[in-house]
Amino acid sequence: MAPRRSVSWLLLAANLHLTAGRGITITPSSISAKKQTQLTFTGAKNGDKVFFTKAECSAVTDDAAAVIKNGRAAITVAEEASGLKLCLKPAGGAIAEQAGVSLNVIKPTPPSVVESVSRSSITRGVTTSVTLKGAEANAKAVFVPVEKDCSDASPKAVLNVDGKGSFTIPTAGKTGEYKLCYQSPGGSDSVQQTAAKGVVKLQVQESATTSQDEITGISPSLITVNVPTVVSFTGAATGDKAVFVHSASSDCAAVTPEKDVGAGHAMFTITTAGEYTLCYRSAGAQDSVAQNGEGVKLQVKAPGVTKEMVGRWQSKEGQLDCTSLTYVPYCGVSQEEKCSRTYMVQSGIGYKCSWNLQAWPPKCTVESATDVAKICMSGRCANDACW
């Protein structure tokens, strides 16, 4: 009986050896049929031979093997399949199925999945959202110059359930016509998309640049340290961004404008006194350019109020009467269209007639009854100060 028991244990051990494997994992685990795809075999060694099959590993021959080099091997499967098992044959060793490893093979990506794109053009160097009509969630896509073959491209942008993805044409890339290369979810190929109206394309335009005189003036040009203040920009356009840097110690080339000033104004808080340079970036640009026009330098003073800080109020139309005003508010901080006489100053500059430099914001010592018509005019306050 003892010899018979020993033979049984040997057969069981051999069977475990054929299926246990040695902890190999593969990436990706899903590829396209008929497309040669580079797979990464983590845990494999140079010279190992690998096979994917539905059959038993013992039925595979060396002729069907791919050889591991630097942890990778080129795999091509002719037909769709799911759950293909990995058979590995180490150099000089026996073939064995690798437990827990399987490969799915999907059908090739069709050439007419995408019907159209949501944009006719994008700017080189600018990440842009584009929706691909007809695309599937988790598919991938890329735009390449029309003369390039999609089979040589690698779709990287992952699409959401709406077919939307973020695309960036490198700054060094060429301008002109680009076509769409698409990859089905779980695939590994890259297929040119052709709709009923022809190849799906868009135009790639030259990157925008910022000039040194985009902004011709700022207001106010004098603010106080650590006081949040709304600054207006003459010449600002939608999508523009700005930042102020200390003129003596910083350079625009070293900073990235991030404050959105597309509405013509934005709130800034400066923590150090001195003169500041406006660094600006036009919509679509990737630069940071110092503005050199007259009236674009920002002076930042230590706490305390001077008449010069509110001198611009004197040029406003209307009659300033300190016996009737409670505040002269800067309405732009809250985008208000109308200002009440009790409007609290959040930013900008308050006004008082007797200059009490110990108070902030300064206020007029006046009666509470106020003629609202003298403080604000409807429609004038959203981007400007008024009384």
In this structure, the answer to whether residues 282 and 228 fall within a common structural domain is yes
In this structure, the answer to whether residues 135 and 167 fall within a common structural domain is yes
- The Cα 89–Cα 51 span in angstroms is 9
Asked, for residue 1, whether it belongs to a domain, the answer is no
pLDDT confidence of residue 333: 42
Asked, for residue 4, whether it belongs to a domain, the answer is no
Number of domains in the chain: 4
In this structure, the answer to whether residues 122 and 198 fall within a common structural domain is yes
Tell how far CA 96 is from the center of its chain.
Answer: 46
Task: Tell which residue, 101, 106, 108, has the closest CA to residue 53.
Answer: 101
pLDDT confidence of residue 351: 35
Asked, for residue 9, whether it belongs to a domain, the answer is no
* CATH code: domain of residue 170: 2.60.40
In this structure, the answer to whether residues 73 and 145 fall within a common structural domain is no
Element (H, E) at 24: none
Q: Which of 265, 281, 301 is the last residue of a domain?
A: 301
Residue-range definition of the domain harbouring residue 62? 22-106
Q: Are 331 and 350 a contacting pair, CB within 8 Å? A: no
pLDDT confidence of residue 207: 80
Asked, for residue 12, whether it belongs to a domain, the answer is no
DSSP string, 276-341: EEEEEE-TTB---EE--STT--EEEE-SS--GGGGGGGGGSSS---TTT-S---BGGGGT-SS--T
Length of the chain equals 387
In this structure, the answer to whether residues 144 and 179 fall within a common structural domain is yes
Q: Which of 184, 205, 226 is the last residue of a domain?
A: 205
Mean pLDDT in consecutive groups of 10 residues from the start of the chain, 387 residues: 38 39 89 97 95 92 91 96 96 91 98 97 89 98 98 97 95 93 98 96 90 94 91 92 94 94 93 95 90 90 59 42 43 41 34 41 36 40 38
pLDDT confidence of residue 360: 54
pLDDT confidence of residue 186: 97
Q: Which amino acid is at 92?
A: G
In this structure, the answer to whether residues 315 and 294 fall within a common structural domain is no
In this structure, the answer to whether residues 179 and 233 fall within a common structural domain is no
Q: Which of 301, 323, 347 is the last residue of a domain?
A: 301
